[in-house]
């Protein structure tokens, strides 16, 4: 039984070290988004930024949620990306993906 647990833990840590550092950040923008055209403008421009995986917009909350590869870009670089097409992006929330949360808890177990 103990062997099984150790094998399992080794398999999990191998998976974590191989996993990419994918993170999520939520921005709010100036100017605000008003319609589908604004959303498309942000999505259409930002998706060309290096390391951007996914962009979700929410007009009601004025949120632009960007999933990005933290090995390839940073929040600052993403904000610079917004500036290129005339938007100022402010961070309202950040969250790490499941893998990095698991990696954190495993460190405590050691
Ligand atoms: Cu608009």
pLDDT tens-digit readout, 54-106:
999 999 999 999 999 999 999 999 999 999 999 999 999 998 655 444 444 44
- If you measure from the C-alpha of residue 41 to the centroid of ligand 1, how many angstroms do you get, rounded to a whole number? 8
- If you measure from the C-alpha of residue 18 to the centroid of ligand 1, how many angstroms do you get, rounded to a whole number? 41
- If you measure from the C-alpha of residue 58 to the centroid of ligand 1, how many angstroms do you get, rounded to a whole number? 12
User: Does 17 have pLDDT greater than 90?
Assistant: no
Greatest CA separation for the chain? 59
| Ion ligand 1, residue ranges at CB < 5 A | 34-35, 37-38
- If you measure from the C-alpha of residue 46 to the centroid of ligand 1, how many angstroms do you get, rounded to a whole number? 16
pLDDT band at 9 (very low <50, low <70, confident <90, very high): confident
Q: Are 44 and 16 in contact (CB under 8 A)?
A: no
pLDDT band at 42 (very low <50, low <70, confident <90, very high): very high
Q: Which CATH class is domain 20-109?
A: alpha beta
Please give the model's pTM, rounded to 2 decimal places. Answer: 0.72
């Amino acid at each position: 039984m103990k062997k099984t647990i150790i094998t399992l833990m080794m398999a999990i840590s191998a998976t974590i070290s191989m996993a990419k550092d994918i993170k999520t950040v939520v921005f709010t923008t100036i100017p605000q988004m008003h319609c589908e055209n604004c959303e498309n403008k942000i999505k259409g421009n930002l998706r060309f930024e290096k390391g951007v995986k996914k962009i979700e917009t929410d007009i009601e909350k004025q949120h632009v949620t960007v999933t990005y590869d933290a090995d390839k870009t940073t929040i600052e670089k993403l904000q610079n990306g917004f500036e290129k097409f005339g938007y100022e992006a402010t961070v309202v929330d950040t969250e790490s993906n499941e893998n990095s949360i698991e990696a954190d808890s495993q460190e405590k177990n050691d």
